[in-house]
Amino acid sequence: MSAAFPIAIVTNSVTPAPETWQALDALEEAFIASGTAVERIHAVDDATSYGRLTTDNSAVVYVVDPRALRGDDEAPMLALREFVRVVRGQNERLPIYLFGEQLTARRIPVDVLSEIEGVVNAHEDTPQFAARSIQREAANYLAKMAPPFFKALIHYADDGAYSWHSPGHSGGTAFLKSPVGTLFHNFFGENLLRSDVSSSVKELGQLLDHSGPVADSEVRASETFRADHLFFVTNGTSTSNKIVWNSCVGAGDVVLVDRNCHKSILHSLMLTGAVPIYLQPTRNRAGIIGPIPRSEFDPAEIRRRIEAHPFIEDGDATPRILTLTQSTYDGILYDADEIKRTLDGHVTALHFDEAWVPHAAFHELYAGMHAVDDRRERTTDSLVYATQSTHKLLAGLSQASQILVQDSETRHLDRDIFNESYLMHTSTSPQYAIIASCDVSAEMMRGVGGRALVEDALTEALEFRRAISRIGRELPEGDWWFDVWGPESALSDGALQREDWLLRPGDDWHGFDGSVDDGFTMLDPLKVTLTTPGLSVNGEFADRGIPGPVLAKYLAEHGIVVEKIGLYSLFVLFTIGVTKGRWNTLIAELHRFKRAYDQNAGLRLVMPRFVAEHPEYRGRRLRDLCDEMHAAYREHDFANLSTDIYLDDPEMTMLPADAWAAMIDGEVEHVPIAELAGRTTAVLLTPYPPGIPLVVPGERVSELIVEYLRVESLLVDEFPGFSGDTHGLASDGTRTVACIRE
Ligand SMILES: *Cc1c(COP(=O)(O)O)cnc(C)c1O
């Protein structure tokens, strides 16, 4: 393992005596003679290369310029301090050694001395002796790197035991008995297959009962994420949500649900038989989801709605759970502390679906804006849950997710009941590589490393936003460019400040009119909505426009795939994996798109693959296509329509679970779109984009939704390949919807 982690020797702008260079060469030879790889790094004085040292070396030897200790030149000492500061800002454990002439503790400033492992005096210590002690520390460092479960898994895979248990591929050997299997084996590699084991391997512990190394890792991650309990989940936050719900919601229970929630929450409604009361978020006319207003969380208002609800007999019922999408799909975060204070004792469990914010605990920008944090005040009564997709913003493999729980002052999680629900939804054969990625992605966030990673992503997101805005300002008057949705105040130079990102009622950038409460919500800078010309946040169409789907197709053709597409926007995520290269490539591609648009280039030239799939576009041009699509959106007022369908409250005629039962009983019929108004749907209808369910089983379809579906199908016919579609329509292409038989 250590071969992949060489010892780095850093010689920055150093002018030592020739004897010192010889001593350094001798040290390097001593390392190599005992099998340790060495990497020499010269003349790098920048934080990026220091930062890299912290990820792929097992120790660093920093060669100190003799002038730094003489005190006649400040620069070398400043360079040394900067080096130590940058390395320690990202990694508190990497062994750092100073190497030089006459290095004594007295001559090295205390702030540097307290951060390093040791010093090597060029002419006093023998190279072999110095090398051995550095190697010992390096080995120690590497040995402590892996968290418990991952460490046990590495050990198991290295050990090479023959297995007689499932999976049947037996550590990968089954694949090697077939040519296509060998192809698979070669592609994924030995380690993935050797570590793909069944839960009967004792030494790895059990995910299902949270024992052994898995449990040790979960406890460690709970400290890292500042929770009282943390459970790894290997089937996504879709499953985490169902586990939470099934552990605290029963048939007939009253529940409070964010109307713009993920499907898995609506599936939980169908599974549990609960009675939902929806909290309605606002939207701007560009289709961006805003916050649920503060007034919707008022306990008196909630009580009034319970009492008025036709499906609830007991007006005194306490809602079992509130599920809130934190952040919304467009990156709006709520003041979680305030919601916890307001609803404490009025709802049994407060559940924040934090699929998009597993990073929030690691940066002060988000303090109080996420659910679980043992540094903040606890609730007195209600339990607090957060479900997080580690695979979305952190470094988990797909499906890596986790459930965080914070006990209240008076109520503690019943782990036995909770785990029964966990077992209902968890495979008895969890995928160990996913568990290991839960473990490792948590470990990456531990200590100073977590903050550094989030800070880095925030810096890149801010620079991207500023770059887009600067390019816009530098273009000649009257020319067009893209924009980013977000506060203007954050675009001038200066540090990242929380103040800038809070939504204020008077601001006009967000387009949420008067429905924004002061300081109750903020935009997460990492969630970037890139807007194209054509539509204002108030829903006004410009003369010309560039529909988001056209830009998205163009970008996809050039290797850039975005997270979500709006009518005049694209959504890009700045995760902890973002690099300067990645977002600069996006900007370069936007420039190229602009040039192609301005020249009205042939589609066949700029999107050859798309045109090959859709020959009907042969001979057509980019700007013409944008104009036609823009005209169609405008003619049908599609932007307002796509927003309004989400704002009217559909009437619930039966519980979601009862509608599903009717579906199973065959009490449904397939109704064409034109006859849909007033009918009760038995399925979820979810338009893509944005992929947020519109009607829930058991609700009546409104005239407006019928109009939307009608226009959508016109657009699908007119612009094949570009328009989205609605999930829930029959899969046989008839564009019918399963409705409850009347
Ligand atoms: C993606 C998502 C989920 C589901 O997460 P997976 O890990 O994909 O199963 C749940 N809730 C929200 C808000 C999401 O965006």
Query: What does the pLDDT read at residue 202?
Result: 86
Q: Which of 445, 253, 487, 239 is nearest to 349 (CA)?
A: 253
* CB 244 less than 6 A from any atom of ligand 1: no
Distance 349 CA to ligand 1 centre (A): 19
Confidence class of residue 246 from pLDDT cuts 50, 70 and 90?
very high
Which fold is adopted by the domain 648-740? Ornithine Decarboxylase; Chain A, domain 4 (3.90.100)
User: Closest ligand 1 atom, CA of 398?
Assistant: 7
3-state secondary structure of 175: helix
What is the rounded CA–CA span in Å between residue 479 and residue 418? 58
Residue 453, token pair as written in the block: 């990673």
Portion of the chain with pLDDT greater than 70, in percent: 97
Residue 563, token pair as written in the block: 């997270």
Ligand 1: which of 234, 238, 427, 571 to mutate, most ligand atoms within 8 Å of CB?
238
* CB 325 less than 6 A from any atom of ligand 1: yes
How large is the average pLDDT for residues 578-587? Answer: 90
* CB 20 less than 6 A from any atom of ligand 1: no
CB pairs under 8 A, 24+ apart, for 124-132? 127/23, 127/26, 127/27, 127/29, 127/30, 128/30, 130/27, 130/30, 131/27, 131/30, 131/31, 131/34, 131/36, 132/34
* CB 326 less than 6 A from any atom of ligand 1: no
Ranking 156-165, 347-356, 441-450, 569-578 by mean pLDDT, the lowest is 156-165
What is the rounded CA–CA span in Å between residue 1 and residue 671? 62
Which amino acid belongs to residue 99? F
Q: Which of 521, 459, 119, 133 is nearest to 297 (CA)?
A: 521
* CB 702 less than 6 A from any atom of ligand 1: no
Query: What does the pLDDT read at residue 163?
Result: 65
Residue 414, H or E segment: none
Residue 494, token pair as written in the block: 């200066």
Query: What does the pLDDT read at residue 596?
Result: 97
Distance 237 CA to ligand 1 centre (A): 5
Distance 262 CA to ligand 1 centre (A): 6
Residue 197, token pair as written in the block: 């084991």
Q: For the chain, how many residues are written?
A: 742
Does position 43 have pLDDT exceeding 60, yes or no? no
Distance 386 CA to ligand 1 centre (A): 12
How large is the average pLDDT for residues 241-249? Answer: 98
Output the 3-class SS for 555-606: HHHCCCCCCEECCCEEEEECCCCCCHHHHHHHHHHHHHHHHHHHCCCEHHHH
* CB 737 less than 6 A from any atom of ligand 1: no
Residue 61, token pair as written in the block: 């030897």
Residue 205, H or E segment: none
Distance 1 CA to ligand 1 centre (A): 35
Residue 31, token pair as written in the block: 């390392």
What is the rounded CA–CA span in Å between residue 396 and residue 435? 9
Integer CA distances (angstroms), 85 to 446, 448, 626, 733, in order: 18, 12, 51, 61
* CB 353 less than 6 A from any atom of ligand 1: yes
Does position 66 have pLDDT exceeding 60, yes or no? yes
Ligand 1: which of 389, 426, 527 to mutate, most ligand atoms within 8 Å of CB?
389
Helix boundaries (H) for 195-286: 212-224, 236-248, 263-272
Query: What does the pLDDT read at residue 731?
Result: 80
How large is the average pLDDT for residues 444-454? Answer: 95
CB 254 within 8 A of CB 414: no
Distance 479 CA to ligand 1 centre (A): 39
Residue-range domain boundaries for the chain: 7-143, 148-202, 205-446, 453-621, 648-740
Does position 1 have pLDDT exceeding 50, yes or no? no
Which amino acid belongs to residue 742? E
27 burial level (CB within 10 Å; 0-12, 13-18, 19+): buried
How large is the average pLDDT for residues 585-612? Answer: 96
Query: What does the pLDDT read at residue 55?
Result: 87
* CB 237 less than 6 A from any atom of ligand 1: yes
Residue identifier of the C-alpha nearest atom 8 of ligand 1? 236
How large is the average pLDDT for residues 149-167? Answer: 81
Ligand 1: which of 237, 258, 334 to mutate, most ligand atoms within 8 Å of CB?
237
Strands 521-523 and 332-334: antiparallel
Distance 569 CA to ligand 1 centre (A): 21
What is the rounded CA–CA span in Å between residue 626 and residue 593? 12
* CB 425 less than 6 A from any atom of ligand 1: no
Ligand 1: which of 323, 353, 387, 402 to mutate, most ligand atoms within 8 Å of CB?
353
pLDDT digits (tens, 9 = 90+) for 71-97: 777 788 888 888 899 899 889 999 999
* CB 54 less than 6 A from any atom of ligand 1: no
What is the rounded CA–CA span in Å between residue 343 and residue 267? 24
What is the rounded CA–CA span in Å between residue 372 and residue 226? 7
Helix boundaries (H) for 91-206: 110-113, 127-143, 148-159, 179-188, 190-194
Please indicate whether residue 269 or residue 563 has the higher confidence score (pLDDT): 269
Domain 453-621 grouped into CATH 3.90.1150.10: yes
pLDDT digits (tens, 9 = 90+) for 490-515: 998 889 999 999 999 989 899 887 77
Distance 643 CA to ligand 1 centre (A): 22
Segment of 115-124, 184-193, 297-306 carrying the highest mean pLDDT: 297-306
| Equal fold, 205-446 vs 648-740 | no
Residue 486, CA atoms < 13 Å, CB-side half-sphere = 30
Residue identifier of the C-alpha nearest atom 15 of ligand 1? 355
Integer CA distances (angstroms), 640 to 254, 435, 541, in order: 33, 44, 10
User: Closest ligand 1 atom, CA of 240?
Assistant: 9
* CB 328 less than 6 A from any atom of ligand 1: no
CATH class of 205-446: alpha beta
Distance 274 CA to ligand 1 centre (A): 21
Distance 391 CA to ligand 1 centre (A): 10
Residue 714, H or E segment: helix 703-718
Distance 277 CA to ligand 1 centre (A): 21
Distance 523 CA to ligand 1 centre (A): 19
pLDDT digits (tens, 9 = 90+) for 228-238: 999 999 999 99
What is the rounded CA–CA span in Å between residue 453 and residue 444? 9
The secondary structure of residue 296, as a DSSP letter, is: G
Residue identifier of the C-alpha nearest atom 2 of ligand 1? 355
Distance 233 CA to ligand 1 centre (A): 12
Confidence class of residue 634 from pLDDT cuts 50, 70 and 90?
very high
- The gap from C-alpha 382 to its chain's centroid, in whole angstroms, comes to 27
Mean pLDDT of the chain, nearest integer: 92
Segment of 14-28, 592-606, 701-715 carrying the highest mean pLDDT: 592-606
Does position 274 have pLDDT exceeding 90, yes or no? yes
Residue 655, CA atoms < 13 Å, CB-side half-sphere = 21
Residue 510, token pair as written in the block: 């967000």
What is the rounded CA–CA span in Å between residue 258 and residue 326? 10
Query: What does the pLDDT read at residue 316?
Result: 94
Query: What does the pLDDT read at residue 65?
Result: 82
Paired with 41 in beta bridges are 10
* CB 323 less than 6 A from any atom of ligand 1: no
pTM of the model: 0.94
CB pairs under 8 A, 24+ apart, for 719-724? 719/549, 719/628, 719/629, 719/632, 720/614, 720/616, 721/553, 721/610, 721/613, 721/614, 721/617, 722/547, 722/549, 722/550, 722/553, 722/629, 723/549, 724/549, 724/565, 724/687, 724/688, 724/689
- The gap from C-alpha 647 to its chain's centroid, in whole angstroms, comes to 27
Residue 500, token pair as written in the block: 């800038």
Residue 425, CA atoms < 13 Å, CB-side half-sphere = 24
User: Closest ligand 1 atom, CA of 264?
Assistant: 10
N-terminal to C-terminal alpha carbon distance within the chain = 67
Dihedral (C-alpha) 497, 498, 500, 506: value to the nearest 10 degrees?
A: -160
Ranking 59-73, 522-536, 581-595 by mean pLDDT, the lowest is 59-73
* CB 401 less than 6 A from any atom of ligand 1: yes
What is the rounded CA–CA span in Å between residue 698 and residue 651? 9
How large is the average pLDDT for residues 618-645? Answer: 94
User: The domain at 7-143 falls in which architecture?
Assistant: 3-Layer(aba) Sandwich (3.40)
Does position 201 have pLDDT exceeding 60, yes or no? yes
Integer CA distances (angstroms), 521 to 361, 369, 457, 485, in order: 17, 8, 21, 15
DSSP per-residue letters across 8-77: EEEE-S----HHHHHHHHHHHHHHHHTT--EEEEES--SHHHHHHHHHH-SEEEEEPPHHHHHSS-HHHH
